[in-house]
Amino acid sequence: MIIHPVIKGQVAKSCHPVGCGQAVAEQIAYVSRAPQIAKGPRKVLVLGASSGFGLASRISLAFGGARADTIGVAFERGPSDKGVGSAGWYNLIHFSHMARKEGLIARNFVGDAFAPDMRAKVADYIRNEFGGSVDLVVYSLATGARPDPETGELVRSTIKPIGTATRGYTINLEKDFLEEQCLEPATDQEIKDTVKVMGGEDWQSWISFLKGEGLLAEGFETLAFSYIGPERTYDIYHHGTLGRAKADLHQTADRIDAALKAQKGQAHVVVCKALVTKASVFIPGLSPYLLALFRVMKEMGLHEGCIEQMQRLYADTLYRADGTIPVDAERLVRIDDREQRADVQEKVAALLDKMTPETFRSIGDYEGYKGDFMKLNGFGLESVDYEADVDLDRYRME
């Protein structure tokens, strides 16, 4: 079949399997020539491994110097009579194919990471086929819903301010315009639910479970990702429902860290730069900021994507030759340092003051933003012939 992009609002309804493969190959090529990870982990579990920071972590740890064997867990759809499936499905297939060609183990588990039977399956695999333990667990899930572990009822997260209403623009990627939205403050229940879905509870329960099963190696590390951003985005993020969930994640890192002391283990939260991913395009009010940020950081030669961020994280920060991990006063690992630079934020603020639904395409880097979104779904890659027939039967999850 010939596959064309289909976008509805903020959601891609199709993806290009060949393009997804090419995007994974580009990331592999990047980490292969970047400064290498000196002494990294050999056995890694990535939760949320099919896109964004999770996929980039897996690529960096396998191909960026550590030559890690990896297990990837993700929630994705394969091809069916409903459509081609999701980009993450093809990312997993391409990654494992290329890792196995290099002689690395790359095992995928597709399904719900919140479900106890997924935990059991992964644990059995680690015990019986993966050498008996893991050195690193990367927790990179991003989702709008999670079944309550006690009741089984679906809990949904919301992205809202807390306390007072706020207005902000969201990008409509389907029709290329900015729409203004009024965001009412979250109710207490919505705050609680967002913390349940995007806070630290599930991360902690994965680690406690694996620890209880005796599957964490001595000197074990675990990380999860967070965002803080500059003050002018606090209303919608840092001081909103998502920020509340992240605060919970930060506290969880300290709890896990304490529980790992006996085996010389550590848990960290890594604060990343704002980027275009399947998850982040949903954050209302954040898009104009991203458009301005991309323009400024590209002009200053400071721009990074997921893969640049992750390779820098593992090579320069987490697995440095001297074995130390630099953290801030709150014990957070900061790789948002370039985004947060005063000179960057000054220029971003100046652009944002001029950004309106009429000017956003010339003031901000809309081309770059949309290009990244298309690329997440395998479209817009130069080396791909989009008029060529794609044989979906070639893509099998192993």
59: its two tokens: 């690529």
CB of 358 to ligand NAD, least distance (A): 26
Element (H, E) at 106: strand 106-110
Q: Which of 95, 203, 206, 227 binds ligand NAD (CB under 6 A)?
A: 227
Q: Which of 10, 50, 96, 158 binds ligand NAD (CB under 6 A)?
A: 50
Nearest residue to the partner ligand NAD, using Cβ: 52
In the bound state with Na ion, the residue whose beta carbon lies nearer, of 41 and 88, is: 88
Q: How many residues lie near ligand NAD (CB under 6 A)?
A: 29
CB of 73 to ligand NAD, least distance (A): 5
Residue 80 bridge partners (DSSP) = 83
Q: Which of 17, 19, 40, 52 binds ligand NAD (CB under 6 A)?
A: 52
End-to-end CA distance of the chain: 23
Binding status of residue 310 toward ligand NAD by CB under 6 A? no
What residues contact residue 86 under an 8 Å CB cut-off, 6+ apart? 15, 50, 76, 77
Q: Choosing among Na ion, ligand NAD, none, which partner's interface includes residue 41 (Cβ < 5 to 8 Å by kind)?
A: none
Binding status of residue 257 toward ligand NAD by CB under 6 A? no
Stretch that binds ligand NAD, among 16-24, 128-136, 271-279, 362-370 (CB under 6 A): 271-279
In the bound state with ligand NAD, the residue whose beta carbon lies nearer, of 20 and 217, is: 20
Q: Choosing among Na ion, ligand NAD, none, which partner's interface includes residue 314 (Cβ < 5 to 8 Å by kind)?
A: none
In the bound state with ligand NAD, the residue whose beta carbon lies nearer, of 63 and 206, is: 206
Binding status of residue 236 toward ligand NAD by CB under 6 A? no
* 3-class secondary structure, 282: helix
Catalytic residue of the set 237, 289, 369, 395: 237
> Is 289 part of the annotated catalytic residue set?
no
Binding status of residue 266 toward ligand NAD by CB under 6 A? no
Q: Which of 30, 63, 95, 114 binds ligand NAD (CB under 6 A)?
A: 114
In the bound state with ligand NAD, the residue whose beta carbon lies nearer, of 217 and 366, is: 366
Stretch that binds ligand NAD, among 4-12, 42-50, 126-134, 174-182 (CB under 6 A): 42-50
What residues contact residue 312 under an 8 Å CB cut-off, 6+ apart? 304, 335
Residues annotated within the binding site for NAD(+) are 48-53, 75-76, 112-113, 141-142, 246, 275-277
Which chain residues interact with Na ion by CB under 5 A? 48, 52-54, 140
Q: What are phi and psi of 140, to 5 degrees?
A: -130, 40
In the bound state with Na ion, the residue whose beta carbon lies nearer, of 166 and 311, is: 311
Q: What distance in Å separates the CA atoms of residue 347 and residue 116, rounded to the nearest whole number?
A: 47
Helices 17-33 & 366-376 angle (0-180, nearest 10): 110
Residue (of 104, 108, 32) closest to 69 by Cα position: 104
Residue (of 82, 72, 84, 76) closest to 2 by Cα position: 84
Q: What are phi and psi of 43, to 5 degrees?
A: -130, 115
Amino acid found at 252: T
Binding status of residue 191 toward ligand NAD by CB under 6 A? no
Task: Report the half-sphere exposure of 179 (CA within 13 A, side-chain side).
Answer: 14
145: its two tokens: 């819903």
CB of 142 to ligand NAD, least distance (A): 3
Q: What are phi and psi of 374, to 5 degrees?
A: -65, -40
CB of 91 to ligand NAD, least distance (A): 8
Binding status of residue 58 toward ligand NAD by CB under 6 A? no
Q: What distance in Å separates the CA atoms of residue 43 and residue 129, rounded to the nearest whole number?
A: 12
In the bound state with Na ion, the residue whose beta carbon lies nearer, of 186 and 335, is: 335
Q: Residues 162-195, buried b or exposed e (16+ Cβ, 10 A)?
A: beeebebbbbebeeeebeeeebeebeeebbebbb
Binding status of residue 209 toward ligand NAD by CB under 6 A? no
Binding site for ligand NAD (CB under 6 A): 48-54, 73-76, 88, 112-114, 140-143, 225-227, 272, 274-275, 277-280
